[in-house]
Each structure stands twice: as C-alpha cells, then as structure tokens.
Amino acid sequence: MTDYTNFSFETDADGIALITWDMPDRSMNVFTLEVLEELDAMTDRVVAADDIKGVVFTSGKSSFSGGADLTMITAMFETAKKEMAKDPEAAQQIIFDLVGRMTWLYRKIETCGKPWVSAINGTCMGGAFELSLACHGRVAADAPSVKMALPEVKVGIFPGAGGTQRVPRLTNAQDALQMMTTGQSLDPKRAKAMGLIHEIAEPKKLVETAKAMIRDGLKPVQPWDEKGFKAPGGPVWSKQGAQLWPAASAILRRETQGNYPAATAILKSVFEGLQVPIDLGLRIEQRYFAHILQTPEARAMIRSLFISLQELNKGARRPDDVKPTKLRKIGVVGAGFMGAGIAYVTAKAGLPVVLIDREMAAAEKGKAYSENLVKKGVQRGKTSKEAGEKLLSLITPSTDYADLSDVDLVIEAVFEDREIKKAVTEAVEAHIRPSCIYASNTSTLPISGLAKNSKRAKNFIGIHFFSPVDKMMLTEIILGRRTSDKALAVALDYVAAIRKTPIVVNDTRGFFVNRCVLRYMNEAYNMLIEGVPPAMIENAAKMAGMPVGPLSLSDEVAIDLNLKIMRAAIADLGDKAVDPGHLELIETMVEKEGRLGRKNGKGFYDYPEKPAKKHLWPQLKTLYPQQDADAISIEELKARFLVTIALEAARTMEEGIVTDPREADVGTILGFGFAPYTGGALSYIDEMGAADFVALCKRLQRKYGKQFKAPKLLVEMAEKGQTFYERFDPYGSQKVAA
C-alpha cells in the first residue's frame, strides 16, 4: 500500500517496513522539496507505529539516486535573494535554515529509535549517499552499476547533509578527505573496505539481506552516538593528526591553488567537526554550506556544470520540429587516431559502424585501437569480456565505399587537407543514400567551404571531436551556411547516442573551442618573447585554474601542426593574420631545432623515457633575454591567460558564431579545461561584471597590446550593466537559473 507520490510503503509479517523510492515521470530519483516532506512524514509514521520494528530503504529504479535536484537549491536562493534587499540578517537565517533541511531530517532518522537499513541497488550519489550514511545499516548490490560518491565538489559545493561529519567517523580522516575533495566514486568492495557500508549482497537478495540485518538485532544507534566513541583516524590533536592535517592542507593548496572554496570548506568542516559531538559538527557543516552556496564559484559552477550541462545533453539546441532519428548504422571514413576513436565510441553506444580506409591494413589497425581499449577495460574490471566482444563485433573494417550504402550518418575523419577531403566527399556521395547525413570531423577548416564539394550541402555538417575521442566529453557541431535542421537534428541525436555533450556553433575558421585555445597558447608565446621564465608561464596558468600549461598543451597539439595552421591562415587571410613574433618562434622550434612536440619526444618540453618525467627544455630560456622573475606579477600573468580566452569567447558571441552562453561556458570547460571554478569563459566575465572586466582589459591593453582590446559588445554591456545571460537569455521569457 502507498500513501505517497514518490514512495511505496509496505510492512511485512516481521514488522519491517520496505520504503521504495520510485519517482513518477523521472528516469532517476532526486531529492525535491516534496520528496523531503514525504520522507519526513514516513519517519513520523515509523516512529508512531508500534508494529513497525525497522525500515529498509531502497529504490524502485535501476539506479538508487543522483542526489539533490540542484535546481531546487537555486530556486531556494531566488527566494532568499528577495529577502536580502529587505532584511539581510533575516535572509541569512532563511538560507541557513534551508540548507539544514536535509541535515536535520537525516539526523531525525538516525535518532528515531528504530533501525533503518539502506539497500543500495545502483548509482548512489550526493545527498542519497548521505541519507544512506545516516541509516544504521548499509547493504550494496554486487553489480558493476553500483557506485557510491559524494561528488558535490565538482559543481562548486560540498557534502552538506552530514557527509563531512559521518564519513570521517566511519573511516580514517585521510581517506575521507580524499573521497570528498575529489568526488571520487567507490565500488561496493572499496566502500566496504573503508567501512562506509556493512555488507555486499547478490542483487536479487539485496532487500532480503537488508531485512536480515534488522531481524538479527541491528542496533538503532549510530557509533558516534554511543558513549566512548572514537573516530577511526584518531583525534585531530594526536600524533596521527599532526601528520595528517598540515599535509592535507598543503596537498589541497597544490591541487586547487585556492580556487575552490568548497574544497577548503570540506577540510575545515572535518577538522572542526571531529573535535565536537556530532550535533555540533552538523551545525558547523551547515554554517560552511550556507556560506559556500552564496559564493560566485558555487553559483557559476552549479549553473554551467549541472544545469546547463544537463540541458545541453537533453537536446536544448535540437530543432523542435524534427522527429528523433533512429540511427541504425554509422560510417566512419579514415581509420587513423581520430577515426578509430570515433568508431570505438560509436560501437560502445551499440551502433554498428563501418570503418573505411584506403588499405585494409589501415582499416584493421583502426579496429585494433578499439581492441586495445577493450582489453584494458576488461583487465581493469570496467567491462566484461562478453561486452567487449559484442562491442568489437559492431566494427567492420573495409576499403569499399559501397559498404556505406545503408548508413544513416557518415563521419569523415581524414587528414586536414581540403583536396583530400574533397576527394573523399565525392567518393562517399557516390554510394550513400540521398537521406544520409555527411559530417566532417575537422578542427579548423570552415564547413561551408568543405560543403561546396558536396552535391547535397543541406545534408553537410561538421562534427568536431576532441582528442582522445574516448575520453573527451565535448563535441562541437558546426553549421554550414546551407546546413538543414534535419542534419543538425541527426548530428545531435548521434552525439546523444554516444553520450557526449554537444555545443552548436556557426561556421568560422577554428570554430569556437580552437579559437579560444589558440588565444591561450598565443599569450604564452607573447610571454616567452617578453622574457617571462618558461616555468613561470606554466605555473601561472595552473594557478589560474587551467589543467595544463599552454606550453605543454602546444606540445600535445603538436608544434608543427601549429606552424601549418599559421601558414594556412597567412595564405588565406594575409600576413597580418599571424603575429610575426609568434611565427618566428614556432619556425625556430620546428625548422631550426626540430622540436615538434610530444610526438617526437621534444618540444617546449623534453620527454625522456619512463620512469623519468617530462621537463621544460633547458635551452628554451635562451631564446629570448630573461626578465627578473621577482619583478613579474604572478597575478597579472594569471589574469592575462583568463582574460585573453574570455575575450575570444565574447568575440564569438558578438560575431554570432556562438549564440547561447551556456554553450560558450560548457564548451570552454569541457573543451580544454578553462578554469572550472569560474563556470566558463562568459561566466568569468559575468561574475566580475562587464564594467570591471572592460576596465581590466584596458589596463592590460595599455601594457601588453591590442589583443586585450574589448569588443564593442562588451563595452556596450558594460555601459548598460548587462550580463551575457541577460543579453543572450537562453531561456527566452523564462527566469534564468542563477
């Protein structure tokens, strides 16, 4: 029997209540205000009923829960903001009480006097895992799909429903900090080894195992509520603590550069909370959580890395009037590194794929790339041998274009050369059906130009994958001047099928992501020429929040490829298209020094054989007279990197290359790791304020050059006090979630 919208509530002959969470019209259970209200009511019902001896809490879906619905949190803050203008102190109290709602409900459950057991049958994240930790017993199904984590730090917040207090009271503080500051996922074996769950059960026996814990006399008291409780890692003020806490602070500083307030708050919550009783520890956590939720980092990261990411993944840019495409077979032409990666992710999605190359040996080598990935996956326990064999059976190497006659989509991934792509387009179109969509995987060549080689330009589109394809989650879909809505819809349906995040951009040289990346590397070249020490350049970029220094990134891209791009730009656009100083530097590296990047073991870095690590090329600092490092402002270097990228993102909005700020923000983060704590390149400007950003640009322009000149769009926005999310409102008349 059930009296609830989101749960079923049944009691068996032993007096054990089975609460099954199964939200209607949702693919995954999430916490909403209604869910919390129903859970609160069920807790009261359990306490009041003498015939109920205990509770097993599980999910009716294949996953357990993804945690809290963060749109609920942003809605709460919209309410609090209105109060802030009238009564700031009252508004802070509202926020404090709101963020404590889950905390004290969970505390109510664990002190209700009756045992609760969480039966975890699938993905269990965030607030759902915190609820499980508040239960007196925890059983997880022995299945690959079962993952447990507190990943909140990845979206700018932290486990604020008791996670920072319960985890370090169940396992040692070092493992607790590692888990929460990285958001790492745990499988059942690891979770049990850490003491975070009690048992692992066969999936079919999960609920029965949970019930058996109650029948066997599970105490309805948590360890930390018993007299004499001691945390597994020992007291904070102990020999172990003296070794852990200074090191933990230093490691966190090294890994985050102080850019992520939520990660710092985790350390503070655990450090302070372990010194006091659990109730006071929960209050400490609540205080830090209320503060973190109001930071610009949390606001921007929640919007870009949760809300916007979900919206784009669900097809926010898909044409409404085109029916979903049921993809049956895909063709990939070009079995090199990129084509092989595309074939792998396509087959992994369960789609048959024909992998074409000029010679069978090359096509089979392309399939071997997938074979190697499958082998590694099986060895690491990430996939089964049977699943791997099924994936490989979907890839058919071939040299015959006629094998493309029944595909729904062809992805061309041949060498970045117009003539080669022209020949492939003509050869493919001689065999594919009229309705087939043709996509070129190109990183720089304009799609409209390539589409001139096609007899059906309306079916021609760009799909730019990032390397390595199996790891990079972003794809850039490029619209040519004549690309139809049908082609766009099919491309988006395909990207959804392979479970990557799409951004849709209009045609231009370098599209969106590469334009921003080139600005990042170009500013590093400027610094080298100025005489900024190379190590300082790399470290400043990392301190600004970039995952890879610009010189290291240049090596990964390949310095000789950068030279080709420069020369192609000069050939098409004239000498002024490339900074002569940059051209001279790159020509010196490639043609004089023979340093092509990682691919030949020497670029801006040297790449010795393992186990030795890569290091900056010692002679790099001799190419230009060096400045005194003590006279260089590290803050200014950091600003130069972030501003030059943000400016390019703003230019693409002004030019209409990108039309949706969500795509610019998500694209810069997923495409090349633009300082995630900012929420993306446009959010970086919005959070600073257009007026302050333009003022910063003017200061940098006076000192370093015209690359920092703010476009007219930004100047106008500064004058009007606008943000990108206001001026280019992706929600139309709806209220922007911020």
| Pick from 459, 450, 456: nearest CA to 424 | 450
342 and 485 part of one domain: yes
- Per-residue pLDDT at 79: 65
- Give yes or no: residues 51 and 123 share one domain: yes
- The pLDDT assigned to 510 comes to 82
Output 11 or 83, whichever has higher pLDDT: 11
Q: Which domain holds residue 270?
A: 7-294
CA angle (649 as vertex; 638, 528 as ends), nearest 5:
40
What are the DSSP E strand ranges found in 287-356?
A: 330-333, 353-356
101 and 187 housed in the same domain: yes
What are 417-467's pLDDT values in tens digits? 889 999 999 999 999 999 999 999 988 788 999 999 999 999 999 999 998
Strands 54-59 and 124-125: unpaired
The answer as to whether 666 is a domain residue is no
Q: How confident is the model at residue 80 (pLDDT cuts 50, 70, 90)?
A: low
Mean pLDDT of all residues belonging to the chain: 94
Distance CA(62)–CA(735), nearest Å, equals 33
Residue that terminates a domain, selected from 509, 532, 562: 509
pLDDT band, very low/low/confident/very high, at 735 (cuts 50, 70, 90): very low
Q: Which residues pair with 58 in a beta bridge?
A: 20
CA angle 277, 281, 282 (to 5 degrees): 120
Classify residue 203: in a domain, yes or no.
yes
Return the percentage of the chain with pLDDT > 70, whole number: 98
CB 166, CB 134: distance < 8 Å: yes
Angle at 27 between CA 22 and CA 30, to 5 degrees: 60
Q: What are phi and psi of 722, to 5 degrees?
A: -95, 155
Q: Which residue is it, tokens 């600004």?
A: 544
Q: Rounded to whole angstroms, how far apart are CA atoms 324 and 120? A: 34
* pLDDT, tens only, 643-681: 999 999 999 999 999 999 999 999 999 999 999 999 999
**Contact of 620 with 534, CB cutoff 8 Å:** yes
CA-angle at 508, arms to 502 and 514, nearest 5°: 60
Per-residue pLDDT at 736 exceeds 70 = no
As to burial, measured by CB atoms within 10 angstroms (0-12 exposed, 13-18 middle, 19+ buried), residue 720 is exposed
pLDDT at 269: 97
CB atoms inside a 10 Å sphere around CB 69: 19
Give the Cβ contact number of residue 2 at 10 Å: 12
CA atoms within 13 A on the CB side of 716: 8
375 Cβ contact partners less than 8 Å away, ≥ 6 residues apart: 388
| 3-state SS record for 111-140 | CCCCCEEEEECCCEECHHHHHHHHCCEEEE
| Rounded Cα distance, 689 and 699, in Å | 16
Cα–Cα dist 320/492, whole Å: 12
Q: Closest Cα to residue 176, out of 156, 153, 155?
A: 153
Instruction: Please check whether residues 290 and 336 belong to one and the same domain.
Output: no
Phi, then psi, of 353 in degrees rounded to 5: -140, 135
| CA proximity to 652, closest of 587, 533, 660 | 660
Instruction: Evaluate if residue 244 carries a pLDDT over 50.
Output: yes
Q: What proportion of the chain, given as a percentage, has pLDDT over 90? A: 87
409 and 364 assigned to the same domain: yes
CA distance 302 to 167: 24
Report if residue 696 sits inside a domain: no
Q: What CATH number is associated with residue 179? A: 3.90.226.10
Whether 737 shows a pLDDT value over 70: the answer reads no
Render pLDDT for 602-634 as a digit per residue (tens, 0 to 9): 999 999 988 889 999 999 999 999 999 999 999
Q: How many structural domains is the chain composed of? A: 2
71 and 171 housed in the same domain = yes
Instruction: Tell me: do 282 and 390 sit in the same domain.
Output: no
Comparing C-alpha atoms, which of 6, 127, 15 is closest to residue 65?
A: 127
Whether 463 maps to a domain, the answer reads yes
Residues 468 and 336 in one domain: yes
Note the pLDDT tens digit of each residue in 511-534. Answer: 899 999 999 999 999 999 999 999
Sign of CA dihedral 379, 385, 387, 388: positive
Residue 200 scores a pLDDT above 90: yes
Reported as a pLDDT band with limits 50, 70 and 90, residue 701 is: very high
Which residue spans within 320-449 are E strands per DSSP? 330-333, 353-356, 395-398, 409-412, 437-440
pLDDT score recorded for residue 2: 56
Query: Residue 643's pLDDT is what?
Result: 98
Question: Does any domain span residue 410?
Answer: yes
**Gap between the Cα atoms of 344 and 332, Å rounded:** 10
Kindly tell me the burial class for residue 422, based on how many C-beta atoms sit within 10 Å of its own C-beta (0-12, 13-18, 19 or more).
middle
Cα separation, 462 vs 488, whole angstroms: 9
Q: Does residue 184 belong to any structural domain of this protein?
A: yes
DSSP for 39-81 reads: HHHHHHHHHH-TT--EEEEEESSSS-B--B-HHHHHHHHHHHH
**7-11 vs 16-21, strand pairing mode:** antiparallel
β-bridge partners, 54: 16
Q: What is the pLDDT of residues 258-289, one digit of tens each?
A: 999 999 999 999 999 999 999 999 999 999 99
Residue 634: inside a domain: no
Which of 487, 509, 531 is the last residue in one of the domains?
509
Point out which residues pair with 11 in neighbouring strands: 17
d(CA 345, CA 349): 6
Q: How far apart are CA 169 and CA 322, in angstroms?
A: 53
φ, ψ of residue 9 in degrees (nearest 5): -135, 110
Q: How far apart are the first and last CA of the chain?
A: 40
| 283 & 405 share domain | no
Residue 464 neighbours by CB distance under 10 Å: 24
Both tokens of 350, joined, read 């369960």
Domain boundary residue, one of 482, 509, 536 = 509
Residue whose C-alpha is closest to residue 337's, from 609, 617, 561: 561
CA separation for the pair 713, 387 (Å, rounded): 51
d(CA 440, CA 480): 11
Largest CA distance in the chain: 86
What's the pTM?
A: 0.92
Same structural domain, 366 and 288: no
Angle, CA 736 vertex, CA 80 and CA 78 arms, to 5°: 5
The residues facing 117 across adjacent strands are 56, 137
Per-residue pLDDT band for 568 (boundaries 50, 70, 90) equals confident
Here the tokens at position 666 are: 């998500």
Question: For the chain, what is the radius of gyration of the CA atoms?
Answer: 28
Asked if 101 and 236 sit in the same domain, the reply is yes
Q: Are 637 and 540 in contact (CB under 8 A)?
A: yes
One domain, residues 442 and 394: yes
372: confidence class by pLDDT, cuts 50, 70, 90: very high
Quick check: is 615 catalytic? no
Rounded mean pLDDT of 386-406?
95
Please report, for the domain that includes residue 358, its CATH number. 3.40.50.720
Determine, yes or no, domain membership for 36: yes
Q: Per residue in 131-148, pLDDT tens? A: 999 999 999 999 989 999
